[in-house]
Amino acid sequence: MRPTIALLLLAASLIGGCDRQSGQPQQANAANVADEAVPAKLDKLDRSHKGEAAPTFAFTDPKGRKATLADFRGKPVLLNLWATWCAPCVKEMPTLDALAVREGERLQVLTISQDFEAAKIAPFFEKAKFRKLQAWHDPETAFSLQMGVNLPTTILYDSNGREIWRMLGDTDWVGGPAAKLIAEAS
Q: What is the β-pairing status of strands 163-168 and 153-157? A: antiparallel
What predicted TM-score, i.e. pTM, was given to this entire model?
0.81
Q: How many CB atoms lie within 10 A of CB 117?
A: 12
DSSP 119: G
Of the pLDDT bands very low, low, confident and very high (cuts 50, 70, 90), residue 158 is very high
Helix ranges restricted to H, the chain:
2-17, 30-33, 87-103, 121-128, 142-147, 176-182
**pLDDT for 8 beyond 50:** no
Report pLDDT for 21: 44
Report pLDDT for 186: 80
Give just the sign of the alpha carbon dihedral 112, 115, 118, 124.
Answer: negative
- C-alpha to C-alpha distance for 156 and 96, rounded to whole angstroms: 13
- 111-151 per-position pLDDT tens digit: 999 999 999 999 999 999 999 999 999 999 999 999 999 99
- C-alpha to C-alpha distance for 27 and 18, rounded to whole angstroms: 10
